[in-house]
A and B are shown apart, each in its own frame.
Chain A
């Protein structure tokens, strides 16, 4: 007989569900601050460096603010697609692989036409990028619909296959012929104007990938609230049996959700490789596909939530880098700090789903 009990709510509290991300950020600041203090840093200074300096520091702000969009763009684009599946109970864990394949296929199409100056090259690459990601996601989707395989395992394993393909083409098929034998493709952003994805307005960080992310958010929002497919997705997630009775085809949902997520991840890869990264290299992927899973949940699987979650995640990355640089903080401390954010978010969910009762349970008669 404990004094504090958790009592399941009939329905999750909507107010608390909305509030938990903010509470989680505050809890992270407190627990993180304590950790920083133990590591010998000024906690307030550390928190300020991570959350405030990238935005408002006169020295770094003008550069970091646009970088927030650069960093958040691919996260939002991928997370928006993933959230559709997650809502319906379809677990695509392999966005990282779809991201790689989008970059490889899209970049490869562009490189095949080098040194063309045609204005059609970039749109063609965008299409090929989306197609590459889509096709890679279709493998787990098809295997699941035809053979009933587990999409979590298949999509995750395909990440490692994609990484090996990336390593192979970087040092073989797509290697820069003028690169003196070093791996890595031509620099699409610097040496191939027709294939580059530059900043659309100088010093804003706004490139086509960021634009695509905003469009994807709007589309996902409309889809989820106004379209029959959005209804089917929500129904399948909340009540799979009811969905089947309502005539929602599980196979169609799987193909749609995995396919869309794959295409968006492929686009993110294409925009990244033609813009901020510039080159197809062995280490081109830097975990966006996995981080996007966190972003999707941090944003409550809601398009608008994901938009903010992506920006917040980008802020902790860039702020974390500044903390390393200015305060000499170890990289591992920053990763711990980011881990705390996810931990607290999931932990706070308890309060949305359960009521905290103090005292002994009432005796029902």
Chain B
């Protein structure tokens, strides 16, 4: 391979969002005729790299070099014009347009009368599909195509604009084995024609099968770029997760009490299947797994926000009414959801209203909310959690991410729960607040609260949890005790690899 002829080079790029550095000083080359894997944990900065290459974000510092020249992309159109095409996990086709129209979108062939030349459009689509070796009818609408077929249409679209760099962000996450094989055949033929492929995946067998080179990222930083042939899967995983487990996560040891929550054979078709676990008082149980493994969905079904098809949820021995958050709340369950902005808070409403929303019924006297009962309750709980705020009547959207999270926690702790479900409790909040949240969870557990924590952050999972339930593709892949759990064992279970001796 000609080392000198990098088609596209990422050089020492850095990108921050607010105070969070998503990518810090990452460099790697993409060579023509080569498939290059980009791996890292959730939140390692892979998506940010993709978005910079796609022209969605601009690097703060560092450069992108295309065939030896520095380039800046003011927007996605620039990246496209430079020959970079991105295939996302969820394709973005126009469902009501035909396959051929989707491919030609943006540069439709015209007749002499300035009409769209449908014949030429269909001919182009057919020529592209022949080149890819797939059979798709160009005249059919994109609606109803499988995800795999939609990706092929996206690839055809990329080819029609003469893309030389193809970036694929977890393209195989939603594909069956047969579809993956077909996609790989297409990608290999493009690679052999001289295109550069950047391939992002959590599945190591795919990386070893398809890619020649791999770049490993961790916490936004570049760890290594090596030939895939020189590394074992073990090496890759170790470098992805290898970092010091700091003493930031102080879970106190608590003698677990009686069983609070029993989930048995919980199934929701197409989302999760036969999920069983239990949680005792004083225990923190973590639900780990990759994004999309079904962790949040399981807990939302337990709380009743989402429905489920079969299985049972028991709380303190009594069967919980399915599909009713109100029943769950009455039983003593609280859920701090994953998406603060959409699920946890009502951004336009005041801090006071947000904190007291689930409890308004309890605070009312004779059904009325006169006087300061709400204000008082909101004040008590925001102070207890040391929330930094101007006035309780300010819209909650004016607070910082960390303080918003405290408001969500206040909102649910105020209901006096016996089981607290927290979904990504420290996502997008600063280190200081993170430590506070961890201390809080630990002391709540010490007071006899049962806690279920969904988290994508391995150090958090390992530091906080008494037991870890690992989900993979909607099923329980492993249940590990605190003693058994290491970064490697959790990642192995989450990714479906055998634990190497």
Q: Do A and B come from one complex?
A: no
Question: Measuring CB to CB, which residues of chain A are less than 8 angstroms from any residue of chain B?
Answer: none
Question: Measuring CB to CB, which residues of chain B are less than 8 angstroms from any residue of chain A?
Answer: none
